[in-house]
Amino acid sequence: MTDLRTESAVRLPLCTSETITLSNLDLQLSNLRHWYAQARRVDAGIQLVHGLLSRYSVSARDADLRHIEALTCALVEQAPEDPRTWMALAEVRAMRHRLADAGQALLTATANGAPPVEIAEIRADLLEAVGEHRAALEIRIANSGGLPPAQRLSRIACCQLALGAHHDAVATFTSAIRTYADASPLPLGSMLFNWGHTWEHIGDRGRAALAYHAVIRYLPSHMRAHSALAECSVASGDPHYRRIVGATRHQANPDDPISLGQLGLSSTVDHRAPLRSERASPI
């Protein structure tokens, strides 16, 4: 048993509503589709891929991901010397659990001159996917310019948590939440989902469920959070599970002060539950 109690509380950031966020994103995607279809510009295609991946992070429809993969393959055929196309392909292949293909695409992107800081982020993702959390952590700590600070800190925190450095993970993830400055809830939803997924991976479904609840407060249609929460509800044998989760279920305002314990950031952690296989999460 490890005591992770803390005296402070985290106020979750205020963000744009899911309805407005997704409406704006869908409009941007429509414009990008038209731009790419008319001009066949690679930069438009890359922006379209990233936008579609953001949309997929909420919808989690397999058909959408297959469409995105087809688009990235078309971009690679269109511009095989452009490292951005191979980077996009590596990212999508990783999300489809085709890790060897993703690694090969990353090697090609490197050979074509992709920025090392961007290569490092995807390489760390691939290492995490095969359980090499320490190597991924070393890359993420050394790689200070690849992501916005909050997202970088949250990924470091997940590595620390997976490695058993719970106090360090708590401090890092708390800093990530306090550093978050984006009006969109999409990156924050991914941060919270990955945090919950890591708790689930080390066997604490109760704290995983609390993080999934936080995702749903920002993004009510986040399909993976709903699915993961249902799995936690069925699988959890913790007698305190329903009481702890119920404490946050009716808090509708993300700006409410949230005790660190309610996001799996405090109280005691029981590591006797069995480990679960890792599930892909948004990159």
On the question of pLDDT at 239 being above 90, the answer is no
Q: Would you say 266 and 5 are in contact if contact means Cβ atoms under 8 Å apart?
A: yes
Read out DSSP for 111-126?
HTT--HHHHHHHHHHH
Q: Would you say 88 and 46 are in contact if contact means Cβ atoms under 8 Å apart?
A: yes
Q: What is the pTM of this model?
A: 0.83
pLDDT band at 270 (very low <50, low <70, confident <90, very high): very low
Instruction: Give the integer Cα–Cα distance in Å for 271 and 29.
Output: 43
| 31-71 tens-digit pLDDT | 999 999 999 999 999 999 999 999 999 999 999 999 999 99
DSSP letter for 262, please.
Answer: G
Every domain of the chain and the residues it spans? 16-96
What phi and psi, each to the nearest 5 degrees, are found at residue 264?
Answer: 75, 25
